Structure 1
Amino acid sequence: MAVVGEEYCDAEERVLTVRKTSHFSPGDGFAAYDHRTGGLAFRADTYGRGHGGGAASAGELALLGPTGEALVTVRRRRPSLHQRWEGFLGARVDGQKPLFSARRSSILGGAAAGAVVELLAPLSTSFSCAHAAAELRVDGSFPRRCCRLVVPNAESGAGEAVVAEIRRKVDEGARVVMGRDVFVLRVSAGFDAAFAMGIVLVLDQIAGDAGEDFPMAKIW
């Protein structure tokens, strides 16, 4: 299922270690490292200094590849009771139509209530596979680093598939569960890892710093 590009759809499950690199504002600093190679796979940066402000360029977030190329740009759509965010392919330009839209599942459920992701732009032919759907769902709690991205099975009309999952990072050598600033993103075989990271940026914006912090914990 290619959304950003076929090159981000691995034949095997892809595991990324994601580290939050800034604590001044949610979402304005992330680095994701490939578990197999240890190399940088993605990073995130803001456009402009007016994070969350009213200007079109302020508060935009860019998901970048390892060499700095813009893969996805996300920005908040205003006004929006559900905290609706839009994602654009590459570096957004005026008049460009969004690739996807994401919003909090409910205005009553708080930041940990999950999210709904709607795909808007035409996708590649691989999108007609069994996992294809116009709408995806995020179940669980991103602030607790325990959630998953679910796609309904469009062909059978029943069942669903988990295409990406976020869990807390465990240092097996030290037997320590890391704090929530370091977590694991598992992307299923054939699913777009760049798109999954774009959803992570949106979830971080929706959740902010909601919920309690989770320090490192020893596994006994």
Structure 2
Amino acid sequence: MSQVRPHSSISSPHVCIDQFFCSSSSTHFTVWKKSLLFNGKGFTVFDSMGHLVFRVDNYASNVKSEVVLMDNEGQILLTLRRKRWSLRRRWEAFRGDPVESERPTFGLTKSLGFPDKIIANVFVDGSREIKQCYYRMEGSLCKLSCTIFSASGDIIAQMKRKEAKSDIMLGNDVLSLVIEAGVDHAFVMGLLIMFDQIS
């Protein structure tokens, strides 16, 4: 399995991948629903300075049940897989490039009975019990928005369509993402990619 990054000094309960991906203040990202590859699908994520932070380049592949989140250098941070034989839509996240027997770091399951919006529960450390749900996601396809809540109901990340400085709305493939202080950016990106898949 590939190594991630060295730890930083930030301590937070919302670290699932590595403390390196946390910030002591809220962080703004621009999410472009495009791949860096020609005519490819995926995500390209930039920070407020325009620097590449994360990318997903393999949406164009024929493997629809697996997606890989990479850092700006192409290092695999998370392998996201759709769980086989699941009655409800469930995706699981594994650190790096996992071996077959490895347990997922976290998973996401779509809740049923919400036709106009998507609600998903997030289970950390491979837990499959609903009572151990640590996070909740809510979003709307028509509004192109998504919010991640902690177990206490606090908003830890929010994504919506990005507006230009002149208050002109950009295209549907350009989104604004705000992640609160102390929250693992790679963890949030993994959730958003899985959320996009079950959409």
Q: Is the 8 A contact 1:28 1:61 kept in 2?
A: no
Equivalent residue, structure 1, for 2:93: 87
- Matched residue of 1:177: which SS? coil
Specify the code of the residue in structure 2 equivalent to 1:116. N
Unmatched 5+ residue regions in structure 1?
A: 53-58, 123-132, 154-159, 208-220
Specify the code of the residue in structure 1 equivalent to 2:196. D
- Matched residue of 1:71: which SS? strand
Unmatched 5+ residue regions in structure 2?
A: 1-13
Q: CA deviation at 1:120?
A: 1.7
% of aligned pairs identical?
32
Q: Deviations over 1:41-67 (max 9, x none)?
A: 100133893222xxxxxx311110001
Partner of residue 68 from structure 2, selected from 54, 62, 72: 62
Equivalent residue, structure 2, for 1:162: 155
After superposition, the Cα gap between the structure-2 partners of 1:141 and 1:162, relative to the gap in structure 1 and judged at 3 Å, is same
Equivalence map 1:96-107=2 (5 Å)? 96-106=102-112
Measured in 2, the distance between the counterparts of 1:39 and 1:182 equals 15
Measured in 1, the distance between the counterparts of 2:86 and 2:143 equals 24
Q: Does 1:43 align with 2:43?
A: no
- The alignment's TM-score, normalised by the length of structure 2, stands at 0.82
Aligned-CA RMSD value: 2.2
Q: Is the 8 A contact 2:105 2:124 kept in 1?
A: yes
Q: CA deviation at 1:140?
A: 3.0
Q: CA deviation at 1:96?
A: 1.1
- The alignment's TM-score, normalised by the length of structure 1, stands at 0.74
Equivalent residue, structure 2, for 1:172: 165
After superposition, the Cα gap between the structure-2 partners of 1:79 and 1:121, relative to the gap in structure 1 and judged at 3 Å, is closer
Q: Does 1:190 align with 2:182?
A: yes
Q: Is the 8 A contact 1:120 1:134 kept in 2?
A: no
- Matched residue of 2:154: which SS? strand
Select between 160-169 and 42-51 the one with higher mean Cα deviation: 42-51
Measured in 1, the distance between the counterparts of 2:101 and 2:160 equals 37
Q: Aligned pair count?
A: 178
Specify the code of the residue in structure 2 equivalent to 1:78. R
Q: CA deviation at 1:143?
A: 5.2
Equivalent residue, structure 1, for 2:11: none
Q: CA deviation at 1:119?
A: 0.5
Equivalent residue, structure 1, for 2:47: 34
Measured in 2, the distance between the counterparts of 1:111 and 1:95 equals 37
